[in-house]
Structure formats: structure tokens, C-alpha cells
Structure 1
């Protein structure tokens, strides 16, 4: 293909752990490795690049399946927030990154007393192990008694949040539902939560703030405004 300057596309599938099926040498031979994510229950399809010899890696394109096939979603933030009710208990808006592209997404939490001996933790679009850690931090440093509470997390639109910047949004949504207090209207929440209850800065801060203000979210709740989760919980 290189001698004739012809682009060749190989289509395969990935295994359950997310790696390419087949011999590993195939991944080293090609110039670009791309993967499309999404299923029939999700609104968007996300095209990611994990290897690119001619450009930046881990960039992402966001598409939507229509009657004309896959079409580019130029403003995913507006679509993901469409129909959202403001001042809802357990609802938080965060700004996520797909590669270097920021977009706003809603994080929902529901906390309710469990009828069983062991509380249930369920997360859709968020890592369950990370949720368990955030709940433990809330219990120890936020003084919230969640030992007899079921906790459910949902990331609206079928989006999957894996970056540490989503920690603070998930934690705040859980606290909002438990305390039955809505978060501030038109507020964006992002930041990493440490095991000692401290809030840590994340990357792409300028891009996150710019995208938030473009859509009218003027209040930013991040590690710059609060240093520990105790300070944040007092402001709810």
C-alpha cells in the first residue's frame, strides 16, 4: 500500500478487556488504530484513536446515528443537556474531556435507604470501584452516614466518564441526593478527589472553563475554589 500510496483499512473487533483481537504484531504494523464505541441504547458513537503516527493520540470524534448514517455532532454539550430540569436534587453538571475536546454532561445520583442488610452500589457510565472510594471518602471526611443507603449513579446520554476530573461531580451529586439539597443553578463541578478528602487540580482547566461559560454556566466549582470536600459540603 505504501509503494502505491493507497490507504488500506482493516476492520476487526476487540476483546472483553478492550484489546485488539488477533496477533499483537498487527497493531505495530499499522499507522493508525481507531475504535468506535457505543451501542443501540446510546445516543452517541465515539470514535477514538489509540495510535496515530501522523497526529495526536487519544483524540475523539463524536457522532450520532441518523437515517442517513453516522453524522458528526458539532455541539454535544447542548444535546446532552437538552431537557434537563434545573435545581434538581442529585443532579450535577460537569465538563468532561474527549481527547482535547470539552463537553458538558449531567451526572445524576439517587441515594435511598436500603431495605436489605447490605447497601447496593450501582454506576452507569462511571467506574464502580471509584464510586466505592468516593462513598468511603464522603463517610469519613464528609460525615455522611451512607452505610445503610443504596447509591445509584447515572451519566446521562450513555457517556462514560473515566477521567479523575469527574470525581467531584459524582461526589457532589451523591451528597446532594443524601442531603436533599440541590446544587447551585448554572454551576459546573469538576476536580479529582483524594483519599484524604482533599481536592486536586486536573488538566485542561482553561478549555473546561471556556466551554462552560460559552453555554452560560458562570459559576465554577473546582479545586481552585475549594481545597477539601468539607468546605464544599458546607456550601450546599
Structure 2
């Protein structure tokens, strides 16, 4: 174990002691925000039903940015989950970011985000998830902080592998993940007579058209306040 790994694992252990909590994704995200120059940290994984399943987010901005990406179907975390290498964006206003994520970039900036740093959580060539760090200012993440973030991603992998179960268990806290999105996707699939991928596309399109978050649309579907008819198909 290298010196950097020992250092990071040491301050994660200190964070565990303060919280009196075992190692979890929530602890790792909390340690990231406590020690790195970021205000938000999130871990998401890819599942069979959705492109990005939020395991845990520390900081309201981080949670909002992950929700935006799920709703819009684009963003740094989505790219990393799809197979991209680490994406370190110093400023979401720069030309490359605007061209790459024309919907996510402006809305992320409006929400208060400027820097976004997404690192893959991987087991060999397999993408297990993504560690996403966010800042409210445009600035590069210092080299030492990037090195620490890689160790935190390794720790997140250990937790995900060790638990390997429900999203709530992975997060270490109740109520994480988006079970209503899974349920709504299945309901829309039945209502429209389409596959799960198409049902997710229809949910996203409705959320975008209404200017709402995907989780809000999903909650309405599950509560039967909103139904998709076959006439809604495109």
C-alpha cells in the first residue's frame, strides 16, 4: 500500500470514528467533502434498468447535478459510466463542455455548479460506478486532490463489492437510490407496450418537456397521478 493510499484511508478511518459508522459509500462521500476542495461528492452505479443509479450524494448540489444527468441523459457521470476515462472539468462554461453537454452544462451552472470531476469506479475493465465531485467555482482540482479521489474511488469499489446488494445497503443510509424510477419505468412499459429502455426515454422526454426532475415524474406515475397513453408514443 502506497503512502497516498495510507493517508486517504487514514482520514476516512477518522471520519468513520467521528460518525461512529462502518465504512460505507456515505462515509466515503462525506470524507471527500471534508478533506478535498469540493462541496459535493456522489457515487452512482449503472444498472440494467437505468443508466445511472444514485447510491449516495453528500451536499445538495451534488445530488441535484446527478439528478439532472439522469433526467437529461447526458453529463460527465453518464459518460464515465458509459466507458469514458476520468473526466475532469475545471469549468462547465468552457466551449468543450458546452458542446459536449448542451443541456446539462447550462442547467448545472444555473444550479450552482462550475467544476465537475468524474472518476470511474472500476474492477479491471468493468465499470462498476462513478465517483463525482463538484465545486461552485471554476478551478482545476489540485493534483494531490485528484490522487486522493482515485483512492476514494478504490474504497468505494471495495464497499460496492463487499455489500453487493441493495442500493440502500450500499449507501449505508436508508432512502437512497431511486426505487420510484424503477417502478415507474415498469409501469410506463406496460402502459405503452414498449421495452424498458423506451419507457425510460419516454419518462425523460416528459420530464424535460415539463421542466421537472425525472424522480418527480416517476413519483406521479407511481402514485397514478400521471399515466402514459399509447398516443404519447413517438
The TM-score range, normalised by the shorter chain, is under 0.3
Richer in helix (by share): 2
So what's the TM-score if we normalise by structure 2?
0.28
So what's the TM-score if we normalise by structure 1?
0.28
Structure number with larger C-alpha Rg: 1
Richer in strand (by share): 1
With CA pairs under 8 Å and 6+ residues apart, which has the higher RCO, 1 or 2?
2
